[in-house]
């Protein structure tokens, strides 16, 4: 009987240890809506993703969380990029995904010949949302590094991301875009840029948006040409596309955040394809897709 109790206790202890081992790596999501009094109490909703153990360390004053700001595409919700948010959160980031559009906002109208094809107003609104959300996040989680942001965005959100980095370069640590089409890349070389490009015939970047290979190499910009569609780069996209983007992004962060994760010391050139993805090397060069090997 005593032996049975001892065995039962041991099994329970192992299950408890297993639970807490898994729990401490769990990513917590929370949605908060802030009201901006400077814009008629405009609601700005954010989804916060953070690893529970890292959040506990930050709350105890043991560390400052690195911060990633995630910006959605036009007509897409701020909660539809969890596959990207979770990569950053798993590496210890506080991820803040911002809802930029409201049903009451006027429709976006494309106007040839105007800045960013007439989308400047929406882009500037997105920048205002980021500044406001970051200021409010200071109150929610003061133990985070809001002075060195990693900004991320898809499509229109990628244009907001690039424009924000252009307006506030001293607040930027890294830029990641997924098929932004309007705002030209920043080529100052002040921070690393990673950009995934689609082969979607309906979504083509405006002339001058994506720099040449030579400029990319000098400026520390890595352009990853994929075989994916524009709308594959969100939660509703193909599992193949999402897992490939996750893998490449994780390797980029491993190199860029050497203090948060080990750096890979040897790897071939970057190639992104719907098959297994090789390790990432930050060459600054544009990379071309290769045909998958068939067996």
172's CB contacts (< 8 A; 6+ apart) are 148, 149, 150, 151, 164, 165, 190, 191
Q: How far apart are CA 193 and CA 88, in angstroms?
A: 15
Handedness of CA 138, 141, 144, 150 (dihedral sign): negative
What are the φ/ψ torsions at residue 117 (nearest 5 degrees)? Answer: 55, 40
Q: Is 151 exposed, middle or buried (0-12, 13-18, 19+ CB in 10 A)?
A: buried
More confident residue, 272 or 50: 50
The pLDDT of residue 25 is 57
What are the φ/ψ torsions at residue 41 (nearest 5 degrees)? Answer: 55, 40
The pLDDT of residue 207 is 94
The pLDDT of residue 283 is 44
Is 219's pLDDT higher than 70?
Answer: yes
pTM surpassing 0.85? no
177-200 as b/e, with b when 16 or more CB fall inside 10 Å?
Answer: bbbbbbbbbbeeeebbbbbbbbeb
Interval 131-144: pLDDT, tens: 999 999 999 999 99
The pLDDT of residue 108 is 82
The pLDDT of residue 259 is 54
Q: How far apart are CA 205 and CA 12, in angstroms?
A: 57
Q: What is the average per-residue pLDDT within 74-103?
A: 96
Helical spans, DSSP H, in 63-212: 82-90, 120-140, 156-167
């Amino acid at each position: 009987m005593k032996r049975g109790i001892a065995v039962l206790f041991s099994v329970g202890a192992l299950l408890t240890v297993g639970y807490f081992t898994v729990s401490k790596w769990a990513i917590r999501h929370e949605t908060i809506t802030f009201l901006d009094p400077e814009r008629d109490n405009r609601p700005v909703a954010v989804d916060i993703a953070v690893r529970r153990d890292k959040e506990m360390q930050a709350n105890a004053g043991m560390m400052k969380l690195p911060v990633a700001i995630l910006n959605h595409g036009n007509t897409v919700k701020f909660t539809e990029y969890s596959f990207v948010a979770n990569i950053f959160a798993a590496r210890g980031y506080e991820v803040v995904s911002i809802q930029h559009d409201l049903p009451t906002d006027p429709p976006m109208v494309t106007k040839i010949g105007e800045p960013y094809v007439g989308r400047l107003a929406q882009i500037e609104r997105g920048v205002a949302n980021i500044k406001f959300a970051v200021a409010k996040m200071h109150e929610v989680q003061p133990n985070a590094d809001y002075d060195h942001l990693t900004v991320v965005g898809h499509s229109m959100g990628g244009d907001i991301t690039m424009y924000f980095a252009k307006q506030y370069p001293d607040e930027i640590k890294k830029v990641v875009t997924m098929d932004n089409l309007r705002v030209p890349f920043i080529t100052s070389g002040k921070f690393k840029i990673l950009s995934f490009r689609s082969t979607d015939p309906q979504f083509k970047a405006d002339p001058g948006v994506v720099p040449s290979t030579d400029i990319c190499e000098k400026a520390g910009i890595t352009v990853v040409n994929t075989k994916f569609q524009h709308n594959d780069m969100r939660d509703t996209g193909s599992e193949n596309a999402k897992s490939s983007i996750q893998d490449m992004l994780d390797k980029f962060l491993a190199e860029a955040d050497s203090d948060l994760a080990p750096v890979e010391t040897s790897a071939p050139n970057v190639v992104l394809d719907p098959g297994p993805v090789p390790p990432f090397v930050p060459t600054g060069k544009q990379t071309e897709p290769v045909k998958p090997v068939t067996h």
